[in-house]
Amino acid sequence: MFCRLVEDFTVSWRFRQLSHNTTQCTSTSAQLSLSALHWCIAASMLPVVVVHGGAGHIPNKRAEFSCAGVRAATRGGYAVLRGGGSAMDAVVEAVTLLENNPIYNAGCGSVLNEQGVEMDAIVMDGRTLASGAVSAVKGIANPVQLARLVMDKTSHLCLTADGASQFARAMGVQEVPEESLITDYARMRWRKNLDPDSNPVECQMGKMGTVGAVAVDLEGNVACATSTGGMLNKMEGRVGDTACIGCGGYADNRAGAVSPTGHGEAIMKVTLSRLILFYMEQGRSAQDAADEALVYMRERVQGLGGVVVVDPHGVWAARFSSRQMAWAAAQNEQLHYGLYAGEDFTQPIQDPDVPHTPSQEGR
């Protein structure tokens, strides 16, 4: 990535300068010059927003819709940042756009259980460690916005079920008919999973999971947001990783921000988001930290998933152990995106969105 190259160049240049003239570089003026250079390079990498549309397996006929959706959400979040908005504003905007897109398992595309749709969401502000979450909510078009209200308007971190609904009404959040959140695709998947000879794992395929975003704004503040409809045919009242701080998301200006996707129970067992930031605090890059944590989750609890990660300097990563994860990132007026491992397509952020044919793999 460009960010990784810039970062490596900066470290290498500083080391050579220090080795060349120790006396000069230990002076106050030299230290200030190096600090200024580092600040300028870091500032040139901001702002950044990275978005995912869920890890798993999606049929080729739906793949381009998923890729197009994360690109649109990334553009929306990046526009907020370029306009001077906060990282929190950007991730909420990006995830709201994903919740409004029926292709994803969040908001109006959520999967069904016996009681219909039950959704979870979380937000976290890396500047203050403030967080808000909701779980098992019904009749709310944008759970991520309700999660932000929990953060901004209460002293709690998470509200659930009827309590969350009562809070939404008190805040003037409009309730929507549940039918408006249920798609024909979700109904089809629900019915197929009820067949006596159905394969529960196969029935999860074709419906991408949790959606989320991370961002760092022009001031170097990070934030994350994650939203999901949960697991297909889950038990009533089931709460997965998304609403749990440290699992479904974490943001801390001292390390970075993470939004995961995948099998919620596995993510919870290893507290995936916080684990990645722990590795970053030990000096690993965003990409290496994500890879190491995903390997650990797979080996320790046989869980697959994916993450988007960003550090306060704008170095980002989109990594996954599942077959696919639709993702997109915006930085330096460039849009990056991919679906399969190793993909990193780019185009100017202002260019019209031209559909990209998915990789031959999986066709």
Q: Report which DSSP code applies to 183.
A: -
CA 102 remoteness from chain centre = 18
Q: Is 8 helix (H, G, I), strand (E, B) or coil?
A: helix
Helix ranges restricted to H, 130-244: 143-153, 161-170, 184-194, 200-204
Pairing of strands 211-216, 250-252: unpaired
Give every CB contact of residue 219 below 8 A, 6+ residues apart in sequence.
Answer: 86
The partner residues of 318 in beta bridges, in order of sequence, read 308
Q: Are 196 and 230 in contact (CB under 8 A)?
A: no
Question: What single string gives the DSSP state of each residue in 10-48?
Answer: HHHHHHHHHHH-HHHHTSHHHHHHHHHHHHHHHHHT--E
Virtual CA dihedral for 60, 66, 68, 71, nearest 10 degrees? -140
Sign of CA dihedral 303, 305, 311, 315: positive
Residue 263 annotated in ligand binding = yes
Catalytic positions, written as ranges: 210
Distance of CA 104 to the CA centre of its chain: 13
**240 in a labelled binding site:** yes
Is position 264 annotated in a ligand binding site? yes
Residue with tokens 């759970």: 143
DSSP secondary structure of 295-313: HHHHHHH---EEEEEE-TT
| Opening angle at CA 68, ends 191 and 295, nearest 5 | 75
Confirm or deny that 313 is annotated as ligand binding: no
Q: Where are the beta strands (DSSP E) in 195-272?
A: 211-216, 222-228, 250-252, 256-262
Closest CA to 90 of 148, 53, 49, 132: 49
Q: Which residues are annotated as a binding site?
A: 238-241, 261-264
Q: Which residues are annotated as a binding site for substrate?
A: 238-241, 261-264
